[in-house]
A and B are shown apart, each in its own frame.
Chain A
Amino acid sequence: MSIDFYWRLPTHGCHNSLRTSGYERGDWSPLQPGNIAPGLDRDGAVDGFTYIDHLGAIARAAESVGFQGGLIPSFPNTDDPWVISSLLARETSSFRFMIAFQPGFGNPVHIARMAASLQRATGGRLLFNIITGGGGPAQLWWGDSFAHDDRYGRTSEFLDIFRGVWESSDFSYDGRFYQLRKGGLPALFRREEFPEIWFSGSSDAALQTAARHADYYLSWLEPFDQLGDKFARVKERTAALGGEQKCAVRVDLVARPTEEEAWADIRAGFENVGEETRQRWRGQATDSVGAARQAALRPSDARRYDELIVAPNLWGGFNLLRGGPALGIVGSYEQCAAQLDDLIARGADAFILAGTPHLEEAYRVGEEVLPLLGRQVSALQAAAE
């Protein structure tokens, strides 16, 4: 058994640590002395580095310690993953670019051509995290007016065409959302490997589409029993359709030499969270099932950091400290490794890990946690059976 480990490229700037709320890396906060990419030179002038230079540094760190690549998220105020991947294609060597993409945003044949071109530029290092969930006003910000269940139908048709033109030079399709007559990528492009598809989404519509199109079913971290059940359900459903579904978890880690040091960082970060941040989290509306599950944790109401410890080494307040899911793993290197082993025993085939700051933590997790993995998996699996 071998497990795929990915890291994450933070596309909305990065904090110096979980304790600070400003973005000292990138230009999402006002530039101050000490900022990185862009920074200020000794005369106080902007130094000419851009945030892409920092993303390049994180990608090279991640590939050097054994991560296969990284997820590149996409939200309204982030940089764009396609452009990031193209810009960094030639200054990385094994790093695989996992582009978060919503199918509604592009013509499927053009997207297939872009994807094949990126495969050619990177030597086959492209893969996708296909996203359909989210909705309401957020979707109209992007210029997308589809209703929720329709979006999964469209995603499914989009992926049919994406694969269809990749595999045939004479592909036709007559769907509800897309039609195509005698299309296909040029022969040179069809030599390229079809990019792996990672699929997110917790609703029934999502699970059904994943079963048809996804290589990996990707979930945020949820309480372990709940997540184990979900993985079992996904694998079962896909097996019933005659396929095989691998499962992956996206999770933040605070890994430190000792558990005390890890919780001290969490505590300091929590105590620096302003009322404004809590209010923002309370008010956030979405029709995404995954986001609603996380919101049920109610971290914005907690008064002490330890009210949010939902299980040993499991903390439910990460979304107060940085954008993204609420639940994450906190502990010593050994404890973090044991938690990941536990998830592997419950059916995880791959991980997207992250820690703040992403550059230094890529080294830390790569050097201190990855080497400890696998010690407990078989024992845990045996115990489960």
Chain B
Amino acid sequence: MTLNIHWRLDPAAEPQRLEPAARPPLPALVRDCRAPSQNRFDYYLQVADAVAQTAFDGLLIRHHIEADESRIIAAVVARAVPRLVVVPEFPASVGSAVYAAKQAATFQRGTHGRLGWALAPDADRDEREAAADFIDEEDLGLRADEFLTVARGVHGERPFTFQGRHFEVLNGGFEAPLNQHPFPRIFLQGEEDEALAQSARHADVHLFRPAPADVLAERIARLNGLAEAEGRRVAAGLIQPLVAREDRESAERAARSVPLAAGTLVASYDGAAELLANAVAAGVSELVLEAAPTLEEAYRIGQHVLPRLRARAGSARQAA
């Protein structure tokens, strides 16, 4: 089992960085020669560069309605930064599943197949209606199901015909050369049984929230059981926010000064590597790490935690 380690970019994080309209002024003493052509995408590229250079395998880009659209960021980043798998997160409410699949095909063609798709959790009713998305609560799961069925269907089959509640296609399906790269790997998330069942049907990776290793192992066993019943295999992933420093005291001190996401791992580099290795031992093969500020922490985690984690995970695999 290969361990893939991704970094997560929240395009709304560090909102003043390279945001021309939010740029903090410099005192008159400092001659300001920042180029007006710089923009927010320069920051996303710096993060992606950091992530690639510190040997992460991929970059997940969060869906954030107040920030730049994740698939646009993904394409800009993938064109400029080599090797990284890029996984934009977006909701199933974006529109036509055929169109989304077609965009994915061009993305794959232009980047040698480095695209993944993460489906974002559904927004609440107010947020949906503000986004011209009027749909019954109980239909959300079905729509996501149909979205993924249609997208994968038109990518891989021709002719593809589908008549659902939310999507309809007649004699669809891509021809060569659009169908010559694999469909993007699908990342889904959620702790509830419904989410696990949906992953069993559609996901390549199911992303869990942080939990103790034994709890994770239990959830992964449940996911595997559901996937097997569908005749599929789904890799287990973990989204893990973390604050890691040279020693535990420094990490705790750093953690006191920032609001922490639930389940944030606060540890020394060695401690973080050990806890993550435990998750890997419990069956996790896709790690999605995040910390703020996004750029500096990508360097820190990439340089200090990843080598330790890979060494441990590697020797654990050899022992097994």
List chain A positions with a Cβ less than 8 A from chain B.
Answer: 26-28, 48, 50-52, 76-77, 79-80, 82-84, 86-91, 104-111, 113-114, 117-118, 120-121, 123, 137, 140-145, 161, 173, 178-184, 186, 188, 191
B215 at the interface (CB under 8 A from A): no
B67 to chain A: which residues have CB within 8 Å? 186
A-B contact pairs, 26 of them (CB 8 A): A27-B180, A28-B176, A52-B79, A52-B110, A82-B103, A86-B71, A86-B76, A87-B76, A87-B78, A87-B111, A88-B79, A105-B95, A105-B96, A109-B132, A110-B90, A117-B68, A118-B72, A120-B68, A123-B37, A137-B171, A141-B171, A179-B129, A182-B129, A183-B129, A183-B130, A186-B65
Chain A proximity mask over B173-210: 1 for CB below 8 Å, otherwise 0: 01111101000000000000000000000000000000
Q: Which of A107, A137, A145 contacts B95 (CB 8 A)?
A: A107
Q: Which of B26-52 contact A (CB under 8 A)?
A: 37, 39-41
CA–CA, A173 and B150, complex, Å: 29
Q: Is B211 close to A, CB under 8 A?
A: no
Do residues A121 and B21 form an inter-chain contact, with CB atoms below 8 A? no
- Is the pair A144, B96 in contact by a Cβ cutoff of 8 Å? yes
Q: Which of B39, B126, B150 contacts A123 (CB 8 A)?
A: B39
Pick the contact of B75 from A86, A104, A123, A183 — CB < 8 Å? A86
Cα–Cα distance between A144 and B176 once the two chains are bound (Å): 22
Kindly identify which residue among A80, A88, A117 contacts B105, using a CB–CB cutoff of 8 Å. A80
- Do B66 and A186 have beta carbons less than 8 Å apart? yes
- Contact between B94 and A183, CB atoms less than 8 A apart: no
**A48→B304 CA distance, assembly (Å):** 33
* Contact partners of A76 in chain B: CB under 8 A: 174-175
Residues of chain B with a CB closer than 8 A to A110's CB: 69, 90, 93-95, 131
Question: Which listed residue, A28, A121, A140, A179, touches B41 by the CB 8 Å rule?
Answer: A121
Residue B21 contacts which of A48, A77, A188 (CB distance < 8 angstroms)? A188
**Pairwise interchain contact B169-A90, C-beta atoms closer than 8 A:** no
How far is A358 from B144 in the complex, measured between Cα atoms in Å?
40
Q: Which residues of B contact A87 (CB under 8 A)?
A: 75-76, 78-79, 107, 110-111
Contact between A77 and B65, CB atoms less than 8 A apart:
no
> If the complex has contacts A113-B65, A120-B68, A178-B132, are A106 and B94 also in contact, measured as CB distance less than 8 A?
yes
Contact in complex: A137, B170 (CB < 8 Å): yes
Bound Cα distance from A184 to B172, whole angstroms: 34
Residues A141 and B95 in contact, CB atoms below 8 Å apart: no
Asked if B140 CB lies within 8 Å of chain A CBs, one says no
A164: nearest chain-B partner, CB-CB: B132
Q: A83-B103, A104-B96, A180-B130 are in contact. Are A50 and B110 (CB under 8 A)?
A: yes
Chain B residues packing against A (C-beta within 8 Å):
19, 21-22, 37, 39-41, 65-69, 71-76, 78-80, 90, 93-99, 102-103, 105-107, 109-112, 126, 129-134, 150, 154, 167-172, 174-178, 180
Given A50-B112, A121-B41, A140-B170, also A83-B107 (CB < 8 A): yes
User: What distance in Å separates the Cβ of B74 from its nearest Cβ neighbour in chain A?
Assistant: 8
The CA of A118 and the CA of B171, in the complex, are separated in Å by 32
In the bound complex, residues from chain A placing their C-beta under 8 Å from that of B178 are 77, 79
Q: Is A180 in contact with B69, judged by CB distance below 8 angstroms?
A: no
A353 CA to B163 CA in the complex, in Å? 40
Shortest Cβ distance from residue A326 to the other chain B in the assembled complex, whole angstroms: 24
Q: Does the CB pair B132–A114 fall under 8 Å? A: no
Chain A residue at smallest Cβ distance from B91: A110
Q: Are B97 and A51 neighbours in the complex by a CB distance under 8 Å?
A: no
Given contacts A79-B109, A141-B170, contact A107 B99 (CB under 8 A): no
| 6 nearest CB pairs, A to B | A86-B75, A106-B95, A140-B170, A52-B110, A183-B130, A105-B99
**A239 vs B20: C-alpha distance in the bound complex, in angstroms?**
39
State the Cβ distance, B21 to closest chain A Cβ, in Å: 6
Bound CA–CA A109/B41 (angstroms)? 21
Determine which of B65, B97, B110, B130 lies in contact with A143 in the assembled complex, contact meaning CB atoms within 8 Å. Answer: B97
Distance between B167 CB and nearest chain A CB, rounded to angstroms? 6
Residues of B within 8 A of A123 (CB): 37, 39
Residues from chain B with Cβ under 8 Å of A186 in the complex: 65-67
A182 to B19, CA, bound (A): 26
Q: How far is the CA of A340 from the CA of B132 in the complex (A)?
A: 43
Report how far A83 CA is from B73 CA in the complex, Å: 10
A21 to B74, CA, bound (A): 35
> How long is the Cα–Cα vector from A81 to B166 in the complex, in angstroms?
25
Minimal Cβ-Cβ distance residue in A for B128: A181
Contact of B106 among A83, A90, A104 (CB under 8 A): A83
Which residues on the B side are within 8 Å of A80 (C-beta)?
A: 102-103, 105-106
Contacting residues, chain A, for B175 (C-beta < 8 A): 76-77
Quote the shortest CB–CB distance from A349 to chain B (angstroms): 29
CB distance A121 to B131 under 8 Å? no
B87 CB to nearest A CB, Å: 15
- Which chain B residues border A106 with CB–CB below 8 Å? 94-96, 99
In the complex, what distance in Å separates the CA atom of A90 from the CA atom of B49? Answer: 15
Residue ID in chain A nearest B129 by CB atoms: A181
Nearest chain-A residue to B115 (Cβ)? A83
Query: Are B21 and A183 touching (Cβ within 8 A)?
Result: no
By a CB distance below 8 angstroms, the chain B residues around A141 are 98, 169-172
Q: B76–A179 contact, CB under 8 A? A: no
**Nearest-CB distance from B300 to chain A (Å)?**
27
A84 touches B106 (CB 8 A): yes
**B65, B98, B110: most-surrounded residue (chain A CB, <10 A):** B110
Residue pair A121, B76 in contact (C-beta under 8 Å): yes
Q: In the bound complex, what is the Cα–Cα distance between A26 and B178 (angstroms)?
A: 11
Bound: A178/B135 CA distance, A: 12
